[in-house]
Amino acid sequence: MLTVDFDHLGVGPGVRVIDVGCGAGRHSFEAYRRGADIVAFDQNADDLADVGLMFEAMVAGEEVPAFAKAETVRGDALDLPYGAGEFDVVIASEILEHIPQDRQAIAELVRVLKPGGLLAVTVPRWLPERVCWALSDEYHANEGGHVRIYRADELREEIVAAGTHFLDQRFAHALHSPFWWLKCALGVANDTHPAVRAYHRMLVWDMMSAPALTRTAERILDPLIGKSVALYFVKSAVPSDVA
């Protein structure tokens, strides 16, 4: 399940990509399949170990071009271990809402992006997220949980101020919003409730089969209740404090 539109980013052979806060690796795997040179970056060693194993399995299964490169790197999003302008594309999907010092993280994302390079940032959308917070403290009030709810226009302004130009805004995963509202109402850890299990089966069916009915429904609902908002930027050729 991808939140970032890779066609919109032009990810392909020879493009150097870093997926900051890669988690289980869904966006890293897609970049690798497309022939990019991908760095899966995260602070969680267990997640990175699993991502590394999947990279190896993709090579063994001939799912990736022979020229593509992939590596896992453990580190801190507030202090990326790279020089300025090293990447053609930077992805930060569903991580900024977890980071108290989000402006520092944004500065690092922009710093390692080359001038003219593309940045994709996704966060939970304000309305669906507000409903989740209202229904359940457990959803967000935990170690490593969500520390803020973003309004897309405010986040967009922060990223532009860091030295980018805004390109586009899109919404995703509308069918997941009611699922999380249900989970929050019944207990975030309650995976055995019949309603939760039934909805989860539907989501799995949708992801595996991509039937026309649910794909059409989600496209219609995304602008209304999309669980995530994806923001796309290009790095300025001239620093924002000079332009």
Q: What is the CATH number of domain 6-125+136-173+226-235?
A: 3.40.50.150
**Contact in structure between 37 and 68 (CB atoms under 8 Å):** yes
Which tokens sit at 187?
A: 């207990």
The three-state DSSP-derived secondary structure of 31-99 is HHHCCCEEEEEECCHHHHHHHHHHHHHHHHCCCCCCCCEEEEEECCCCCCCCCCCCEEEEEEECCHHHC
pLDDT at 72: 98
Q: What's the rounded mean pLDDT across residues 179-202?
A: 94
Q: Which of 7-21, 58-72, 227-241 has the lowest mean pLDDT?
A: 227-241
**Contact in structure between 190 and 196 (CB atoms under 8 Å):** yes
Task: Say whether pLDDT at 156 is over 90.
Answer: yes
Provide the 3-class DSSP secondary structure of residue 158.
helix
Rounded to whole angstroms, what are the CA distances from 113 to 1, 18, 162?
25, 9, 12
* pLDDT tens for each residue of 11-26: 999 999 999 999 999 9
**Contact in structure between 58 and 33 (CB atoms under 8 Å):** yes
**Contact in structure between 97 and 231 (CB atoms under 8 Å):** no
Task: Say whether pLDDT at 28 is over 80.
Answer: yes
Domain ranges of the chain: 6-125+136-173+226-235, 174-225
Q: What's the rounded mean pLDDT across residues 117-138?
A: 96
Confidence band of 241 (pLDDT split at 50, 70, 90):
very low
Q: What's the rounded mean pLDDT across residues 137-155?
A: 90
Work out the number of other CB atoms within 10 angstroms of the CB of residue 122.
Answer: 26
Q: What is the largest CA-CA distance in the chain?
A: 58
Give phi and psi for 139, each to the nearest 5. -60, -35
